[in-house]
Structure 1
Amino acid sequence: MEDSMAQIELSLAALKKSGNEALRVLAQSMIDEHGKLGQEMEQLAKERNLAIPAPQDPSHSGAAKMQRLSGREFERRFVETNLRDHEKSLKVFQHYAGAESDRKLKALAGRAEKMVASHLKMLRELEKNLAK
């Protein structure tokens, strides 16, 4: 859940800092989809009486550090950071989608896996375009 919050924060920064239309579309998609996923995860955690991690101090987040960047440097770092985070998240969701016995958690992980895989595909395409 903390990863989703960080990706939303970073995507909000991208909407303010980037003029790249494809990046802005991806950022908005990530805000919408990670926001919905975070709500679903929070609801499931409450149903299962699981602790919900406290939000990270914004001054220590990747988005706060990236506020100093602009233009292509910001865009490259946005893609680089999100590629790394999404690859890590994909492995976690794949594990839970395949191994979890809790049907509700397994279904949520399966939906999250598809979402993250879709974002990874868009991020890889952006990475190619920014390298030109």
Structure 2
Amino acid sequence: MMLRGIHHAAVICGDYAVSKAFYVHTLGLRIVAEHYREARQSWKLDLALPDGGQIELFSFPDAPPRASWPEARGLRHLAFAVDDLDAACARLAGQGVALEPVRIDAYTGARFVFFSDPDGLPLELYETA
């Protein structure tokens, strides 16, 4: 088996309209497809990442909140690569997104910052340029 990369990451949200606005307008992801699945009373929104990957945004009735603190087993966070961390932080802060302080990766020297989506999912911007 030869893995070539991550095709998509799936995110379950609490309020579909709020999360859709966040991922589309705040993060600037392009909508690939949007479907309402009547049998599951669930929206599925496919969003394109610039590198060809995707985020699938799902809504399910009565989905329980994600345990983030203290950190639980499982996926820790979703990180996005950016060329200019300062510009990306300024754009998010200008849209009211609360950012943690910028940190330096002790092993690579790269700068990164954490923030959350509307459901508290930890997201990261990681400067790659």
Q: Tell me which protein shows more helix as a share of its residues.
A: 1
TM over 0.5: no
TM-score (norm 2): 0.30
TM-score (norm 1): 0.30
Greater RCO structure (CA 8 Å; 6+ sep):
1
Q: Tell me which protein shows more strand as a share of its residues.
A: 2
